[in-house]
Structure 1
Amino acid sequence: MIVLAGGLTLVVAAWPLPHAAAAPIWIITQLVTVGVATYALTRREALHRSGWWVLLASCGLGLASGALHVVPADALSDAAWPIALAARSALFVMGLILLLGVRRAQPADQNLLDAAIVAAGLAIVAWAFLIQPWLGKEPPDGRYTGMIACFGALDLLLLSLLLRIVTIPASRTPTMLLLALGAAVVLAADLSSITRVSRDGLDGFQPGGLVFTAWQLCGVLVAAAALHPSYGVGYRRIDGGTEDVLPRARFVAFVAVALFAPVVPVIGLVTSGLVPQDTLPALVGAAVLTCILLVLLVVRLGNFARLAFRRAGAMNVQSAALMVQATVLQQALDDQHALQKELAHRALHDPLTGLANRALLAERLEQVLLDSARGPGGLLLIDLDGFKDVNDTLGHPVGDELLVRVGRRLRVAAECADTVARLGGDEFAVLLTETDADRCRQVAGRIIEVVRDVYPLAERQVCLAASGGLLILDLERTEPAEALRDADLALYAAKEAGKNQVVEFSPRMRESRMRHAELAASLRAALAADALTVLYQPIVDLRSGQPVALEALLRWRTADGRDVPPSQFIAVAEEIGLVLDVGSKVLRDATAHAALWHARHDVAVSVNVSARQLASPAFAADVLSVLADRSLPPGALIIELTETVLVEAAGAAGELAHRTLTTLREHGVRIAVDDFGTGYSSLAYLQRLPIDILKIDHSFTATLDSPSERGQRFVGAILGLGLSLDVPTVAEGVETPRQAALLRELGCPLAQGYHFARPCPPEGVLDYLSTPVALRASLT
């Protein structure tokens, strides 16, 4: 590794240098290469040592040619350096031939075939890169023709040896791969130089050219190959074996019998004197010929018998192997058929309930809708109400058991259905065929009733209900995707209408959903373009009339000038998952504006927060970070939450929200309950949660204008509750002087509404705060 790294460093360092400066580095590199290779050859044993000695001679010739550097350039022929390089290349090729043992690697006929293939391939390469470029041009200078032919022939041999090393696994040892890399470098340099000979003459083969750098790299690689542990390993594998022959003793016995049989009668006739002497030559000749014939027949029959025996044995082996393979194949086919059935069932059925899955429902729905001779039918989508609470409180295994029981009930309740499927999660579907509309409605109602029940699970009584969306499949429907979409719209309408019921699809649902989708897309675009604006409405002290805080109110005016109510687009933001981004925008904008107002007028800013924001583990840290960035004290921020959010935070599932509110309040941020009295009637959260302000909903404030005193008593009760808890109260929606006067009489400390000021943009807030109270009263 050291030799390889050091040698490559020297070569790379000498490459860009002028010839005079590079020559000593080149000679040193060759000297180190020869020394390392000589050390390896004299100290280590190896096969094919003759090949290594020839490679060493090639390196030595490169070192010896260094003497040409001391000869003045004018005294040297242009062909001196190319001749030296050609001689070194010839020795390198011969060394690789000896290392590979090419002549003995394969039988002669196969070797000739391989040679023909390689020759054809190399001829194509030579034609493409050497001959074809000259076609149609003037022939090259005659001085270069011999040099081109010499290097071309050597490169063809080098390429064939390189291919042999790479393509024969037995030759791919690390040592041989290093040599192959050296051969590849030299080959590339030679081919590049040859292609320039006709244009630049022999300059490519002069010192400093690409060929010289390539041979230096090759020498370094030869030295590294000689030092590698795989040096000395054989580079070819000779497979051989003995051929079965007829046993020698039996063959000799058969030949002896063949010789003895025709000779004995002749001997008997001769010794008995029954044969005249003049016929003896004829008998002997006939006997000899017969012996020869019989011997040949014995040999031939022996060959036939041996061949037949071998073929019979081979056929027996093949027959046994085929029988085994046939048995194994049949078993594999049986297993594959069973596996295919199992996979097909799994692909089209829900693994938990065994019902059809979404794919099978879509397939059967398509078959039904494309059948022109079909009758009426219906598609019912079912969603379990409150199933998420089961998973959250009792765990997913209990939830899975509940789904299995619901699936069984659906099979029984929808016995006339074509398909009962589980689409995923707690959503199911029932496909009714050949059933009129009234019958579809009856079946859908019965299914919802059957599902609605108490399920004993995990020693608990779980109450479950379901919502359904029904689509009547009239004969005009042909698209399965549209049918599923419309049924899903009906299901969505059922859940929006209060759940635990079936709602039948009507075209207006599609129109409503399309408007909803358009609103969602417009909201995304508005948020991306920062088209949502924040207005501010003051919260005033009813006794002094001074503003103590400003509530941030998000507003959206579309590109066509239409104002979208917050109740509408906030709900859309909740549904499409943008409420966190919307809430973050309001918080950032409000705190940025409040930093200026609080410093000058000591007013706070109140920001509404959604349940999703409060459920984020990082919400408290984000709020405190924003306050720190704005240099705004925590006491200048009020977080407003609805009763619904607070009651959820007071429950067991809202521990994170409870910790978040507690953390914010400990840092000085105040917590306000918005729209108090319109949410849950439970008052437990007022004791458990950190609350600083109660905001009476505007619907109660509006009752103060009624002649009846019932509204006043109700508002007074809320004010009394806040007073008893030492929590200040804000009356929302104060629009008339009478409402403001009655609130003062009832002891309400704070109020907000159009009577005091309408929501205004940030640039109008400073003017409002700077206006004296008396003047503001006259303006309103």
Structure 2
Amino acid sequence: MTTRQWHEPHSIRDPVTGLVQRDAFVGKITEALERTKRDDTALALLVFNLDNFSDVNDRVGQPAGDSLLAAVAERLKGSLRPNDTIARFVADEFGILLEGMTYAGAAEVAERIGASLNMPFDVLGREIFIGGSIGLCVDYAGEQTSEEILSNADVALYTAKTGGKGRAEIYEPGMHGAVIARLQLEAELRHAVENQELILNYQPLIDLESGKVVALEALVRWTHADRGPVSPAEFVPMAENADLMKIIGRFVIEEVCRQAERLAAAYPGRPPLDLTINLSFKQLFDPDFPEEAARILRGSGVQPQRLVFEISEEVLMKDTETATTALEELKAVGVKLAIDDFGTGYSSLIYLQRFPIDAIKIDKQFIDGGLAGRLQDSSLARLIVELGKSLGLRIIAEGVERIDHLNEVKAMEFDAAQGYFFAKPLSSDEVMQFLAKGYDEGGA
């Protein structure tokens, strides 16, 4: 149902959440627009969907997914006024009608909803983090039809989702052109993936005691035929939204294994380098992924312990119970595991001992942005380093770009570091040239 008490047939309500369904909601928008036009007032429409909800269903089953949707509906009611209208459209998409609401007020509501969704949900005894993306459109004096304002809010939602998870966007007329351009780019990305036009760059990771290169982090790159290089910050979220990450993930592992073979042939007498790969949310929680990784490794002949899978702290904290199981299954394959971008939340510290990991990479916010001079005084950074070392974990600093950064992380007794101070991401051929110059002999 909605926060407003409607006297309507049960059939117009969603059976899972009790909220009004889409068709009835459209009727309510039409009525509200007529009142807005008559009274020369404003209304706002919010549409949003939950981030990665389909993966929750896959991990914990539909009953838990339905319980989560019902819990989301209850939490939404707590963020709204008694006369606001809430609806469930399809799957994990919701709509909220706010009468008498301007841009500023609607933006505050969106922020309040976003904050409430970022808090963990207790679903059948399991703690789940979900979050959501929000699109917002405001109408003054009934200028739009119900379908127009819904369409515009959907455009804002799409814009929010393509900008990353957990975002809110207010509709602007120019968004239509941007959405069309982005859909075109998404189609071209799909073509690039299917035709193997993506490449990998590698950034060296340096052992701070010996100064030697001990690992290479694989980074996906896409050079568009007309636009040139496309930022990973733009195309990786696009790939996730388009369900392309499974294909890309398979390509990355296969290509990394080929790179390992090239390195072994070029440097037969030296200890093999580790090669690290970033795993997405969908990869980590895909029940078939461990076997797929094992199959690729068997086919390549690369020893599993040479591969390091990095998972961001944010991804792990979405569902710690399922994440622990997924990590254990990957560990059984024989690969190493690392938490990437660590330090963004205190809550994850208590899970360090529980997760079967080998290393943690400290979030680069502790290195760049002028924080380097205060790193040694950072109680959080010190706690992470000390706790990690007490658990036998390797502690790695990201974002080392200057000599003072390097001196700070050495003083804090980090084990290894990476960043532009040592090398930018390099092509496969550039990696060979970099190593051939003798950097692997030490000197950091």
After TM superposition, the score normalised by the length of structure 2 is: 0.73
Rounded to whole Å, the distance in 2 between the matches of 1:469 and 1:590 is 38
Please, which of 640, 647, 658 is the counterpart of residue 327 of structure 2?
658
Q: How does 1:530-541 map to 2 (within 5 A)?
A: 530-541=196-207
Q: Larger deviation: 671-680 or 505-514?
A: 505-514
Rounded to whole Å, the distance in 1 between the matches of 2:439 and 2:64 is 59
Rounded to whole Å, the distance in 2 between the matches of 1:715 and 1:681 is 14
1:645 aligns with 2:315: yes
Q: How does 1:506-517 map to 2 (within 5 A)?
A: 506-507=172-173, 509-510=175-176, 513-517=179-183
C-alpha deviation, 1:569, in angstroms: 1.8
Structure 2 match to 1:756 = 422
C-alpha deviation, 1:589, in angstroms: 0.8
C-alpha deviation, 1:531, in angstroms: 2.2
Please, which of 365, 378, 385 is the counterpart of residue 43 of structure 2?
378
The percentage of aligned residue pairs carrying the same residue is 29
Rounded to whole Å, the distance in 1 between the matches of 2:315 and 2:123 is 29
* Greater relative contact order (Cα < 8 A, sep 6+): 2
Structure 2 match to 1:624 = 294
C-alpha deviation, 1:535, in angstroms: 0.7
Structure 2 match to 1:686 = 352
Q: How does 1:727-766 map to 2 (within 5 A)?
A: 727-766=393-432
Query: In the superposition, relative to structure 1, how do residues 427 and 594 fare at CA in structure 2: closer, same or farther (>3 Å)?
Result: closer
C-alpha deviation, 1:701, in angstroms: 3.2
1:359 aligns with 2:28: no
1:567 aligns with 2:236: no
Rounded to whole Å, the distance in 1 between the matches of 2:123 and 2:312 is 34
Q: Which amino acid aligns with 2:312?
A: T
Query: In the superposition, relative to structure 1, how do residues 609 and 411 fare at CA in structure 2: closer, same or farther (>3 Å)?
Result: closer
Q: How does 1:109-188 map to 2 (within 5 A)?
A: none
Higher Rg = 1
After TM superposition, the score normalised by the length of structure 1 is: 0.45
Query: In the superposition, relative to structure 1, how do residues 558 and 466 fare at CA in structure 2: closer, same or farther (>3 Å)?
Result: closer
Rounded to whole Å, the distance in 1 between the matches of 2:170 and 2:103 is 13
Kept in 2: contact 1:534–1:553 (CA 8 A):
yes
Rounded to whole Å, the distance in 2 between the matches of 1:759 and 1:738 is 21
Please, which of 546, 550, 553 is the counterpart of residue 216 of structure 2?
550
Query: In the superposition, relative to structure 1, how do residues 585 and 710 fare at CA in structure 2: closer, same or farther (>3 Å)?
Result: same
Q: Deviations over 1:40-75 (max 9, x none)?
A: xxxxxxxxxxxxxxxxxxxxxxxxxxxxxxxxxxxx
Rounded to whole Å, the distance in 2 between the matches of 1:560 and 1:370 is 47
- Name the structure with the higher helix share: 1
RMSD over aligned Cα, in angstroms? 5.1
C-alpha deviation, 1:632, in angstroms: 0.9
Q: Which amino acid aligns with 2:45?
A: L
Query: In the superposition, relative to structure 1, how do residues 354 and 775 fare at CA in structure 2: closer, same or farther (>3 Å)?
Result: closer
Structure 2 match to 1:521 = 187
Q: How does 1:89-488 map to 2 (within 5 A)?
A: 350=14, 357-362=21-26, 378=43, 380-381=45-46, 395=64, 413-414=82-83, 421-425=87-91, 427-429=93-95, 470-474=136-140, 477=143, 480-488=146-154
Kept in 2: contact 1:384–1:426 (CA 8 A):
yes
C-alpha deviation, 1:543, in angstroms: 3.4
- In structure 1, the residue corresponding to 2:348 is in which secondary structure? coil
Rounded to whole Å, the distance in 1 between the matches of 2:191 and 2:425 is 24
Q: How does 1:716-731 map to 2 (within 5 A)?
A: 717-731=383-397
Q: Deviations over 1:29-48 (max 9, x none)?
A: xxxxxxxxxxxxxxxxxxxx
Query: In the superposition, relative to structure 1, how do residues 545 and 414 fare at CA in structure 2: closer, same or farther (>3 Å)?
Result: same
Rounded to whole Å, the distance in 2 between the matches of 1:469 and 1:687 is 39
Q: Which amino acid aligns with 1:584?
A: R
Query: In the superposition, relative to structure 1, how do residues 350 and 770 fare at CA in structure 2: closer, same or farther (>3 Å)?
Result: closer
Kept in 2: contact 1:643–1:680 (CA 8 A):
no
Structure 2 match to 1:597 = 263
Q: Deviations over 1:464-497 (max 9, x none)?
A: 9998755333468555443212123456678989
Q: When the two structures are aligned, how many residues end up with a matched partner?
A: 420
- In structure 2, the residue corresponding to 1:688 is in which secondary structure? coil
- In structure 2, the residue corresponding to 1:507 is in which secondary structure? coil
Query: In the superposition, relative to structure 1, how do residues 711 and 582 fare at CA in structure 2: closer, same or farther (>3 Å)?
Result: farther
Kept in 2: contact 1:607–1:639 (CA 8 A):
yes
- Name the structure with the higher strand share: 2
Rounded to whole Å, the distance in 2 between the matches of 1:708 and 1:627 is 42
Structure 2 match to 1:185 = none
Query: In the superposition, relative to structure 1, how do residues 398 and 694 fare at CA in structure 2: closer, same or farther (>3 Å)?
Result: closer
Query: In the superposition, relative to structure 1, how do residues 464 and 551 fare at CA in structure 2: closer, same or farther (>3 Å)?
Result: closer
Rounded to whole Å, the distance in 1 between the matches of 2:255 and 2:125 is 51
Query: In the superposition, relative to structure 1, how do residues 727 and 514 fare at CA in structure 2: closer, same or farther (>3 Å)?
Result: same
C-alpha deviation, 1:534, in angstroms: 0.4
Rounded to whole Å, the distance in 1 between the matches of 2:279 and 2:125 is 38
Q: Deviations over 1:711-733 (max 9, x none)?
A: 58765554433332222222222
Rounded to whole Å, the distance in 1 between the matches of 2:123 and 2:355 is 32
Rounded to whole Å, the distance in 1 between the matches of 2:226 and 2:123 is 55
Query: In the superposition, relative to structure 1, how do residues 728 and 463 fare at CA in structure 2: closer, same or farther (>3 Å)?
Result: closer
